[in-house]
Amino acid sequence: MATNATIKYYPVGNGDMSLITLEDKTTILTDCNIRNCDSDEVYDAKADLMKSVQFDRGIPYVDVFILTHGDQDHCRGFKKHFYQGAPENYSEANKKEELIRVDTMWFSPMIAEEHSNEDEDAYQQEAERRLALHRNNDSKKDNRGNRIKIIGYDGNADYQDLNYLRAVPGDIVTRFNDRDQTLFSIFIHAPFKEHLEAMGDDKKNSTSIVFQARFRNTTYQTGFSTLAMFGGDSDHTSWCIILDKTKKYNNESALEWDLFLSPHHCSWSFFNDRPQAENPDPKKTSLQVLDYKRTNAKVIASSKKIEKNDDNPPHYQAKSEYVKKVTESNFHNTTTYNVVNNTPQPIIYEVTQQGIVKPKKVEGSARVTGGAALGAINTPSTYGNGEV
Amino acid sequence: MEMERFSDSLPIFSDKIENPALQDSLNSLKILTKKSLSIHDWGNGRIGVPIVISVELPSLGNIDNIDIKAKEQIVLVFNLLNYPYEAPVVYTDRLDFPKDQLAHFYIAANNRPPAFCYVRCNRDEWYANKRIEDLIIRIANWLGDAAAGELNEDGEQFEPLRLEGYSGTIIYDYDTMVRPVLTNTPLLTYKNLSIALFERGLDINQKTYRFVKFLNPDNAIDTLKEVDIENQKKKDDSTRRKYHYGYLLWADEHTVNSQYSVNLPKNWADFKLFCAFFQIDYNHLENCLIANFHLNRFIHFPVIVAIRRTKPLIGYSSNIELINFRFWLKLEHIKDGKIIDDIEINFFSHNQPLTQKLAAKISNFQLENGFRTLVFGCGALGSKIIMHLARSGYPKLSLVDPDSLSPHNLVRHTLFAEHEGENKAESLARAINKMYPLESAPSFGFSDKEIINQKPLIEIHNWIMDFTASPAFFNTLSIGQHIVEKNVLSAMISDFGNLGILYREGNGRNPRIDDLQAHLYNLSLQKSEIKDWLKREKLAHSNTNLNVRVGIGCNSETTVLSDDKIASHASFFSGIIKKEMNNVPDNGKIFLSQISDDGVYSITTNTIKVAPVHIYQAINDNSWSVRIQSEVYEKIMKEFSKAKRNETGGVFVGYCNHKTKIIYVVDSIRAPKDSKANSIHFMRGIDGLPEEIENAIQSSGGQIGYIGEWHTHPKGPNALSDQDMESVGKHKLEFERLNPPLPVFLTIITPNGLFPFVY
């Protein structure tokens, strides 16, 4: 049986990191927040990623990396864990360091102009390196590890000459890492031009890349098996414009969703301005966005445990609004969804023609052996009564 | 009140369960379900344990709204005695379970619910490595897949009915069988009905019918006669063929059905219901059966029902699913122009006749293009390699062997006793063609070896293989002028059956099999195993003459050599051949398989690459040719350039074949130390030379030795000088007296090239 596409939301606290794996094993990583794993409570996202990506002659790679915006909690670990520089210089030492090559990066010029952290800088520099290759028509520009897609419009820098690399809101992307996909596409919602004109104080958040990932299981299928919405930290004003524009251009199907990654880690900013106490009523437009949910749709809060306190996000009130729409059983928090030995585990869905299902349970076997990681092997065992 | 669960109808099992493995698994189930189990008597020494399992349903709702619930009731049925060797059978416990909508159910029996078909292979084998917990996971996944429409391997195709409990088999080609259905061409005036002839083996217990042909207006009379002749024959006549007329019926063109009926008919009444379910009109069949009752000599015959499905069937070329039955019809079953309801109907499986494509797929052997191969020698080694190729889906073989099968051949030949007295090549070809009844006789057999001289026949073959173990044929094949641009290989067994040798020629027949042979002999100077082998051969044949007959002809009662030894060489060779068939080689190759029979029995193999040789005609007599191995050529050219202005020279090692008039040069011995040379003169010394020649002779078991000499003319001419001619005359005098005589072979090397002379 062909393997189905999967969507994995990593438990990375208040941060985002999601991996889409298509049935042909193409991987699309949206944001990363790879923290140091010095405590049991931190899930080892890097180790998981190494098991999830493909290898090209021993080099681990993701087909596409989409950085929704440059906040630290969306790109933490990029500099340390992803390869930057000319792909032909990837060394044996880099292999040992398990640096993941980004075959194609998705880059939004608008969101990348205010650098606030070194991971974002690294992403920006790598993007500029690739853009320069394309601008100079370098013979290596289309090699894996040099590919780049420009999302949305230009900020201060002018990339008009590279418009063939660009996708703007309203576009549907079907080609990923130089390969056409027949069962998967991405509808781009944001960032749009209005962002350039009216940028609020939280500029980066409001200008996140927002997209709808669309899955089908067969080419003759009418409609989609699964629709998953990703929106970085986009706020209610962005969503208001998205709603407005998408309706205006008769693209309402691009608003539907089965999976909704709650923006900004279940922040109130999706519903209204913060602080919530001053703006306690959710905007109608935000609620309308949620009404495009399909049957049994689920909201994912990629955040810390959601508690009724002042440590926001995540906002307890935001969760309440989501639950009103999808019911408690369809609202999942990455930190609490599935905890094994104190460590939160990823939320994974598999795409079937009838929508999403949890991954199948894995059968065991009657024959077992212990692995090298067994505690018993890694700690001394004493037997008998006396001292050794 | 209507029952909801099937298990409610079963009595409680009150005996003690003594099987410890079963007790264990029931305990595990109890822990898993967190409930105490109710155990029912399933009958037949089995218990039924109903449990409820959780099923993960897809978010957008079940496919086609199939009624699968998040909590499903199932019954696990355990064999009290044979568990866990007999895997549990799992049934749905819901009487309203939507079984008709799903494949992967076994046909229900005895008014029980249908069982899940939860593994593709044998469930006992699967369960041997699984625990009861794994089975529960599997059933839950099965139900989840069913709800999401993921149960079928390929969503674009229709999963055929999952059937069990066949009483026998009908062999026919699916595409042939569905042709009348797809083209809607019934026999004569019948509607949606055709008649076909089937044959059954002579064994009385044989439950296999093999499709022969459909009846049509053109062949009907002849077929009736043919069958009649066979029917007249006596029961004990060994030539009698058992023919049965069978029937194929189908639904109207527009009747398409996607239901899985899980009840198969066991009698005529059931059959009528079955047909009604699939909207197939059985009246024509009934009339036809009655009208033609006397045609069938036997009371049983095949009936095949064609159901049109909504999508193409998985693994087949159309949407027609064929269900196979055997009917038992006696005269007393016919009353008032109707068949009475209690005639017995069995359920049969279908087997597809073997095709090249299927055999190749099963063998994982893909040949790029379908070229033909001409094989000489269908003896012990040949027949085994031939059958390996034929069984791998490559039957395009033209086989040549003059011999017929003798009783002692049965020890080592692939053919069986019933072929005694038959020509080996023809008999093998027949056996191969019988394996592939749908292909138009891809294999031919010839008893005439002279075919090697028939150019047009050679032309249509891309490969020529020699398994004759015949030195004469080896010569013929080596020098055959018309064998150009062919892939040639020759394989043989030597060293008392312990050494297998396969020569595979290089591109454009260079190096040729004889070059490869020469190369192998020369390796005796370097490889002790080759040296030891050639010495043994020499010893074994020392009573005859110096020439070792390499290659054992197995067609002799006195050859002591077991079938398994030949088989191990043959399977190695056929593995090589299959690889080489998809290769275009630059070099020639020698493949060796060596069996060590002392102490521990072991097999080692070896591959030697051989570069193309340099080929010359003798300048003075073009009936002679000289073939110089490429290493030798490079060696002497190096010495030539190293000597600069001075002449230099050396002695050639190799052998000559008087029959083919070929001189093979496999090595060159440098000018001995006492040689003298200036720019116009070369005197070849003798220091150490006899020892070196003796070493070559000893190592190779006499296969190679002194064969000629060479020297250089740095300033020309390209011809022999008077002095050279004098030496030739001197040598000739000596060589002529040898038995057999040795030609005088002298080569001049000048800046213009290499000029061989043979006297």
**Does residue B155 form part of some domain?**
no
pLDDT of A77 higher than 80: yes
- Among chain B residues, CA nearest to A361: B137
In which band, very low, low, confident or very high, does the pLDDT at B158 lie, cut at 50, 70 and 90? low
Closest to B265 in 3D by CA, of B191, B339, B317: B339
Residues B349 and B370 in one domain: no
Best probe of the B interface among A215, A294, A354, A358, by most B CBs < 10 A, is A354
pLDDT tens per residue across span B52-79: 999 999 999 998 889 999 999 999 999 9
Residues B179 and B313 in one domain: yes
Q: What percent of chain B has pLDDT over 70?
A: 94
Residue of higher predicted confidence among A314 and B440: A314
Residue A323, amino acid: V
Residue of higher predicted confidence among A19 and B673: A19
Residue A27 pairs with which residues in a beta bridge?
Answer: A21
Provide the residue count of chain A: 388
Q: How big is the CA angle at B90 (ends B84 and B93), to the nearest 5 degrees?
A: 140
Residue B569, amino acid: H
**Can you tell me the mean pLDDT for A307-328?**
94
**Does residue A386 form part of some domain?**
no
Residues B335 and B447 in one domain: no
DSSP per-residue string spanning B171-223: E--HHHHHHHHHTT--STT-SSEEEEEEEE-SSTT--EEEEEEE--TTTHHHH
Residues B207 and B315 in one domain: yes
Nearest to A295 among B60, B137, B148 (CB): B60
CB-based contact B60 A363, cutoff 8 Å: no
Residue reference for tokens 């009379």: B221
- pLDDT score for A165: 94
Residues B442 and B589 in one domain: yes
Per-residue CA distances from A244 to A170, A204, A288, A289, B38 (Å): 12, 21, 11, 10, 60
Residue of higher predicted confidence among A291 and B123: A291
Per-residue CA distances from B359 to B367, B415, B441, B582 (Å): 12, 20, 16, 17
**Can you tell me the mean pLDDT for B266-294?**
89
Closest to B106 in 3D by CA, of B347, B353, B322, B315: B347
CATH of the domain at B336: 3.40.140
Could you give the CA distance from residue B78 to residue B82 in angstroms, rounded to a whole number?
8
pLDDT tens per residue across span B742-758: 899 999 999 999 999 99
Question: What is the DSSP pairing of strand A27-30 with strand A59-66?
Answer: parallel
Distance from CA of B152 to the nearest CA of A (A): 8
Is B66 within 8 Å of chain A by CB? Answer: no
3-state secondary structure of B249: strand
Joined tokens for residue B644: 């600069």
3-state secondary structure of A336: coil
Residues B532 and B472 in one domain: yes
- Give B128's contacts in chain A (Cβ within 8 Å): 366
In which band, very low, low, confident or very high, does the pLDDT at A173 lie, cut at 50, 70 and 90? very high
**Does residue A137 form part of some domain?**
yes
CATH of the domain at B727: 3.40.140.10
Best probe of the B interface among A361, A368, A369, by most B CBs < 10 A, is A361
- pLDDT score for B545: 40
**Does residue B358 form part of some domain?**
no
- pLDDT score for A115: 66
**Does residue B589 form part of some domain?**
yes
Best probe of the B interface among A256, A348, A360, A362, by most B CBs < 10 A, is A360
In which band, very low, low, confident or very high, does the pLDDT at B261 lie, cut at 50, 70 and 90? low
Residues B431 and B526 in one domain: yes
- pLDDT score for B160: 63
Most confident option among A327-336, B349-358, B557-566, B700-709: A327-336
Residues B348 and B206 in one domain: yes
Residues 114-153 of B with CB under 8 A from A: 128-131, 133-134, 137-138, 140-141, 144, 147-150, 153
Asked if residue A61 lies in contact with residue A87, where contact means CB atoms within 8 angstroms, the answer is no
**Does residue A370 form part of some domain?**
yes
- pLDDT score for B156: 54
Residues B320 and B409 in one domain: no
**Does residue A243 form part of some domain?**
yes
In which band, very low, low, confident or very high, does the pLDDT at A374 lie, cut at 50, 70 and 90? low
Is A105 within 8 Å of chain B by CB? Answer: no
pLDDT of B488 higher than 90: yes
Per-residue CA distances from A88 to A79, A105, A147, A272, A336 (Å): 18, 17, 13, 48, 42
pLDDT tens per residue across span A227-260: 999 999 999 999 999 999 999 999 999 999 999 9
**Can you tell me the mean pLDDT for A60-84?**
96
> How high does pLDDT run on average in chain B?
88
Number of domains in chain A: 1
Residues B662 and B526 in one domain: no
Residue B122, CB-side half-sphere exposure with 13 Å CA sphere: 6
pLDDT tens per residue across span B669-720: 998 888 888 888 888 888 889 899 999 988 998 889 999 999 999 988 888 8
Per-residue CA distances from B448 to B331, B396, B424, B465, B560 (Å): 56, 19, 11, 16, 27
Mutual angle of helices B513-522 and B528-540, in 10-degree steps: 100
**Does residue B258 form part of some domain?**
yes
pLDDT of B121 higher than 80: no
- pLDDT score for B550: 42
Is A99 within 8 Å of chain B by CB? Answer: no
Domain of A275, in residue numbers: 6-378
The Cα diameter of chain A in Å comes to: 82
**Does residue B641 form part of some domain?**
yes
Per-residue CA distances from B610 to B143, B262, B274, B594, B666 (Å): 61, 65, 69, 19, 12
- pLDDT score for B549: 42
Distance from CA of B22 to the nearest CA of A (A): 15
DSSP per-residue string spanning B26-48: HHHHHHHHTSPPP-EEEETTEEE
Joined tokens for residue B375: 């094989």
User: With a cut of 0.95, is the ipTM above it?
Assistant: no
Residues B193 and B264 in one domain: yes
CB-based contact B141 A361, cutoff 8 Å: yes
CATH of the domain at B137: 3.10.110
In which band, very low, low, confident or very high, does the pLDDT at A205 lie, cut at 50, 70 and 90? low
**Does residue B160 form part of some domain?**
no
Residue A133, CB-side half-sphere exposure with 13 Å CA sphere: 21
Is A383 within 8 Å of chain B by CB? Answer: no
pLDDT tens per residue across span B533-568: 888 888 776 644 433 344 455 455 557 788 999 999
Say which range, A150-154, A228-232, B47-51, B499-503, has the weakest mean pLDDT: A150-154
Say which range, A98-102, B435-439, B613-617, has the weakest mean pLDDT: B435-439
CATH of the domain at A16: 3.60.15.10
CATH of the domain at B372: 3.40.50.720
Asked if residue B612 lies in contact with residue B649, where contact means CB atoms within 8 angstroms, the answer is no
**Does residue B121 form part of some domain?**
yes
Number of domains in chain B: 4
- pLDDT score for A113: 61
Residues B646 and B601 in one domain: no
Residue reference for tokens 């064969």: B707
Where is the domain boundary, B589, B610, B631? B610
Q: What percent of chain A has pLDDT over 70?
A: 90
pLDDT of B342 higher than 90: no
- pLDDT score for B731: 87
Could you give the CA distance from residue B602 to residue B501 in angstroms, rounded to a whole number?
17
Best probe of the B interface among A357, A365, A368, by most B CBs < 10 A, is A357
pLDDT tens per residue across span B714-739: 988 888 888 888 888 888 888 888 77
pLDDT of B154 higher than 80: no
pLDDT tens per residue across span B444-487: 999 887 888 888 889 999 999 999 988 888 988 998 888 888 99
Residue reference for tokens 């299959």: B578
Say which range, A103-117, B191-205, B634-648, has the weakest mean pLDDT: A103-117
End-to-end CA distance of chain B: 113
Domain of B253, in residue numbers: 168-229+238-353
Is A357 within 8 Å of chain B by CB? Answer: yes
Phi-psi region of B536 (alpha: psi -120 to 50; beta: other; left: phi over 0): alpha
- Give A364's contacts in chain B (Cβ within 8 Å): 130-131, 133-134, 137
Could you give the CA distance from residue B746 to residue B734 in angstroms, rounded to a whole number?
15
In b/e form, how buried is each residue of A223-259, taking b as 16+ CB within 10 angstroms? ebbbbbbbbbbbbbbbbbbbbebbeeeebeebbbbbb
